[in-house]
Amino acid sequence: MEESDFFSAMTMVSAAILVGGAAIGSALGVGSVGAKLIESTARQPSEASMLQNKAFLMAGMLDAIPILSVAIALLLLFSNPLA
């Protein structure tokens, strides 16, 4: 196995770990936001619309993280600046 083959394989593994870790972290974050939204709405039903708006904003911010990680992974895979 040549050094370039090993480097390519490790790049693919690192990109997979990057995307997978970001997806798992984002899923846990969105789940936590949803759980807190339900809990807060149960405590203060009159504030449900304001809480829902803030929860959707936070969920959108949490979803931006995997999108950025996919962009970094594609950068590593197709035009590797480290090679």
pLDDT of residue 48: 92
Number of structural domains (the chain) is 1
- CA dist 22 and 16 (Å) reads 10
pTM of the prediction?
Answer: 0.78
The encoded tokens of residue 9 equal: 């394989």
pLDDT of residue 4: 79
The encoded tokens of residue 35 equal: 């759980």
Active centre residues (catalytic): 63
Q: What does the CA dihedral 19, 20, 21, 22 come to, rounded to 10 degrees?
A: 50
The encoded tokens of residue 37 equal: 């939204």
pLDDT tens-place string over residues 1-56: 788 788 888 888 999 999 999 999 999 999 999 999 999 999 999 999 999 999 99
- CA dist 69 and 77 (Å) reads 12
Which amino acid is it at 74? L
Q: Is residue 83 part of a domain?
A: no
- CA dist 22 and 29 (Å) reads 10
